[in-house]
């Protein structure tokens, strides 16, 4: 099985927000591309990012590192959407789920309502 190239589509919105849709593998080979795209958007004045990861099939440690670099470079939270269960588990286990803004996981509503 060969690696799937990463494709990043960017929608620029008003008020300095951009949405990035990632399709493919976020790994050692493609992580620098994500970092470069986010850095270029920051230079253009964008500070709020929504990353749609619904098209990401694989995310390795380099991909996780790219998410951290993207988060650390800005003044606003980095919001992730379309996080598959495997990636969600990886983010939870590494503690990155607490750092990055993620949608509630299945079952979190019950925990928060009871808390």
Specify the pLDDT at position 111. Answer: 37
Give the pTM.
Answer: 0.84
pLDDT band at 109 (very low <50, low <70, confident <90, very high): very low
What percent of the chain lies above the pLDDT cut of 70? 87
DSSP state of 59: E
Report how far Cα 73 is from the mean position of its chain's Cα atoms.
13
pLDDT of residue 114 exceeding 70, the answer is: no
**CB-based burial label for 95 (10 Å; 0-12, 13-18, 19+):** exposed
Tens-place pLDDT, residues 32-56: 999 999 999 999 999 999 999 999 9
Grouping H, G, I as helix, E, B as strand and the rest as coil, residue 53 is: strand
31, 63 in Cβ contact below 8 A? yes
């Amino acid at each position: 099985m060969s690696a799937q190239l990463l494709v990043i589509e960017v929608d620029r919105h008003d008020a300095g927000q951009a949405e990035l849709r990632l399709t493919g593998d976020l790994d050692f080979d493609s992580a620098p591309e994500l970092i470069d795209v986010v850095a270029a958007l920051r230079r253009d004045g964008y500070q709020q990012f929504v990353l749609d990861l619904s098209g990401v099939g694989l995310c390795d440690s380099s991909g996780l590192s790219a998410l951290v670099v993207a988060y650390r470079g800005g003044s606003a939270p980095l919001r992730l959407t379309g996080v598959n269960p495997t990636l969600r588990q990886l983010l939870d286990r590494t503690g990155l789920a607490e750092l990055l803004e993620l949608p509630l996981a299945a079952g979190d509503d019950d925990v928060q309502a009871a808390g």
